[in-house]
């Protein structure tokens, strides 16, 4: 079995929920406290054993490339002023993985950026992670998926339990438990109506896929909204064998793709911080009295 070495991160979307700020700043670069959302995803990938990060971008996304590159002028300034902790921090960003950038080309839909990466992935199994969703868990979400893949040698996606009202925002699987936290996904429905959701679990943005996903995406008829959806390609792979779902244990799901959940993520991550968490908690208690 080949090792999972590469991860594809689609980051070409407009992020219109965050207008007007995303007019000039990629939504993936919006900060969660003091790190952009996409950095949390990259760090999770690296912690799970990923070596190559393929980021699929579009127009106006150059800030992502600049962020994961060296900034020699900044590094020289930090070194000159003996800000060595900060110097180490910014240098680490550029060196923690091999970064590869490609531009998205083709029809709308979240399956298109995955298909665009085919020439880089080749015949290897690989990971896909959305650039605006991450799950904070003691064992990285992606690593949990890789462990399932290594056991069953079939595609895997991660999921978390969410309130029923939130299900229409996500892909929702119909599942059958095979062991604790591991399920066979009999079907995966993209953004179902609340009454049509087949379970209480939502895909939280991490996948381990096999190279046959490329043929499935290339040959499929556009789905909902006349777009190419990754879930339709994954459902096609079920013809060759089971698709597995890994429920993430002890995880806190962060969806930075909509404004309210993005704000919640900032609060959660700020409260975790040893340097500001306690003071910030007191501030929240204080201002909550005003509302």
Distances (CA, A) of 282 to 38, 56, 264, 266, 267: 29, 41, 16, 16, 12
Q: Does the residue 265 lie in any domain?
A: yes
Q: Which two tokens stand for residue 5?
A: 């070495």
Q: Does the residue 243 lie in any domain?
A: yes
Same domain, 145 and 250: yes
Look up the domain containing 267 and give its range: 259-291
* Whole-number pLDDT of residue 70: 94
Same domain, 66 and 146: yes
Q: Which is it for the CA torsion 231, 138, 34, 268, positive or negative?
A: positive
Same domain, 274 and 175: no
Compute CA 142 distance to the chain's CA centroid, rounded to the nearest angstrom: 9
* Whole-number pLDDT of residue 101: 97
Q: Which residues of 113-127 are buried (b: 16+ CB within 10 A; e: fewer)?
A: bbbbbeeebeeebbb
Q: Does the residue 135 lie in any domain?
A: yes
| Cis, peptide link before residue 289, omega less than 30° from 0 | no
- Residue pLDDT tens, the chain, 291 long: 678 999 999 999 888 999 999 999 999 999 999 999 999 999 999 999 999 999 999 988 999 999 999 999 999 999 999 999 999 999 999 999 999 999 999 888 899 999 999 999 999 999 999 999 998 899 999 999 999 999 999 999 999 999 999 999 888 999 999 999 999 999 888 888 988 899 999 998 899 999 999 999 998 877 777 788 898 999 899 989 999 999 998 889 999 999 999 999 999 999 999 999 999 999 999 999 887
Q: Which two tokens stand for residue 101?
A: 């950038």
Same domain, 94 and 227: yes
Same domain, 162 and 41: yes
In the block, tokens 């953004």 appear at 191
- DSSP string of 203-235, one letter each residue: EEEEEEE-TTHHHHHHHSPP-GGG---HHHHHH
Alpha helices in 166-276 (DSSP H): 213-219, 230-237, 259-272
* Whole-number pLDDT of residue 121: 97
Q: For the chain, what is the domain count?
A: 2
Same domain, 107 and 24: yes
User: pLDDT by residue (tens digit) across 74-95?
Assistant: 999 999 999 999 999 999 999 9
* Whole-number pLDDT of residue 291: 79
Same domain, 27 and 147: yes
User: Could you tell me which residues are beta bridge partners of residue 245?
Assistant: 157, 183
Q: Does the residue 50 lie in any domain?
A: yes
Q: Residues near 22 by Cβ (< 8 Å), separated by ≥ 6?
A: 14, 15, 16, 30
Same domain, 281 and 145: no
Q: How many CB atoms within 10 Å of residue 22?
A: 18
Beta strands at 98-103 and 52-57: parallel, antiparallel or unpaired: parallel
Q: Does the residue 1 lie in any domain?
A: no
CATH number for the domain including 229?
3.90.550.10
* Whole-number pLDDT of residue 42: 97
Same domain, 251 and 265: no
Q: Residues near 123 by Cβ (< 8 Å), separated by ≥ 6?
A: 211
């Amino acid at each position: 079995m080949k090792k999972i070495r590469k991860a594809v991160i689609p980051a070409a979307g407009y992020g219109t929920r965050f207008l007007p700020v995303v007019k000039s700043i990629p939504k993936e670069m919006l900060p969660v406290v003091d790190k952009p959302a996409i950095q949390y995803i990259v760090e999770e990938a690296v912690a799970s054993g990923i070596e190559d990060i393929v980021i699929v971008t579009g127009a106006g996304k150059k800030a992502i490339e600049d962020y994961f590159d060296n900034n020699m002028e900044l590094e020289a300034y930090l070194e000159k002023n003996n800000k060595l902790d900060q110097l180490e921090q910014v240098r680490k960003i550029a060196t923690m993985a091999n970064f590869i950038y490609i531009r998205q080309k083709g029809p709308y839909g979240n399956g298109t950026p995955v298909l665009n990466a085919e020439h880089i992935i080749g015949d290897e199994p690989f990971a896909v992670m959305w650039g605006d969703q991450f799950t904070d868990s003691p064992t990285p979400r992606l690593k949990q998926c890789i462990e399932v893949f290594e056991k069953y040698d079939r595609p895997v996606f991660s999921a978390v339990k969410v309130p029923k009202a939130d299900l229409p925002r996500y892909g929702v699987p119909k599942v059958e438990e095979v062991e604790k936290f591991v399920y066979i996904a009999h079907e995966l429905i993209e953004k179902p109506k609340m009454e049509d959701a087949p379970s209480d679990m939502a895909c939280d943005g991490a996948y381990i896929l096999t190279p046959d996903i490329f043929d499935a995406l290339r040959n499929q008829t556009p789905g909902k909204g006349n777009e190419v959806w990754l879930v339709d390609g994954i459902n096609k792979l079920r013809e060759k064998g089971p698709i597995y779902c890994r429920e993430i244990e002890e995880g806190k799901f962060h969806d930075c793709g909509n404004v309210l959940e993005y704000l919640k993520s900032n609060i959660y991550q700020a409260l975790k911080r040893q340097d500001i968490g306690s003071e910030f908690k007191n501030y929240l208690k204080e201002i909550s009295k005003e509302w």
